[in-house]
Amino acid sequence: MTPGGQHQRFGNPEDRSSIIEYNVRLAKIIANCGADILVLGPGGTRDQPSTLEELQVAAATINEVAKRTYALGVKTCVHPHLWTEWQGENEIAILMNLTDPKVVYLAPDSAHLLGAGMDPASIIRTYPDRVAYVHLKDLTDKSAATPDLQLPYFCELGKGSVNLHQTIEALNEIHYSGWVTLEVDESLNSPYNTMEICRDFVEEQLKIPVRL
């Protein structure tokens, strides 16, 4: 996932050139490694929703990045994220409407979408031709639009409030065949135990084989 970041915002016209340059340079590295997905991480922190003008600036920057990376064989994905300039459903809708569907894709994150008040499965079904990469993640509290550093908002799959079965059903309905990354940002368990819990949930509850 690439800047944005806390010190650069896609909605800030002064950051446009550096964001484009950085992401195109990164896309060249991605292509040379044999990969084909670039995830655009929005800037933070979030003080208020993005204005239409800021989203228009962001969309223009995203379109330019995506046009250049697509020529390299790399798909550029918008990644809505809690506590950043792209958090809400309206912001996603505007960005999807203002960006070129031929070169700009969507990387939904099940926990971030639910935390911002959305249904991840519904968002996936709304943009079936734009979903090109997925973060499968769970959330301890479905109302996480305002950060509280005392809480580990994200948790192992199956331990939180995201309906992961419905998320997978939606991906199957749109015939999604791309990568799904299992992600846990924070946990009270060790990294090894965290991955065991997630693996077991995927295999036993979602019925998706992990171990060959």
The answer to pTM > 0.85 is: yes
CA distance 139 to 118: 13
Q: What is the mean pLDDT of residues 79-106?
A: 96
pLDDT of residue 146: 59
Task: Give the per-residue pLDDT at 6.
Answer: 42
Average pLDDT over residues 49-53: 95
CA 123 to chain centre: 12
Q: How far apart are CA 23 and CA 147, in angstroms?
A: 27
Q: What is the Cα–Cα distance from 121 to 41, expressed in whole angstroms?
A: 21
The architecture CATH gives domain 13-204:
Alpha-Beta Barrel (3.20)
What is the per-residue pLDDT across 178-197, written as a single tens digit (0 to 9) for each? 999 999 987 888 999 999 99
Average pLDDT, the chain: 91
Tens of pLDDT, residue by residue over 143-174, are 655 555 555 688 999 999 999 999 999 999 99
Higher pLDDT residue, 185 or 5? 185
45: pLDDT strictly greater than 70? yes
DSSP 3-state of 78: strand
Amino acid (1-letter code) at residue 64: E
pLDDT in the model for residue 154: 87
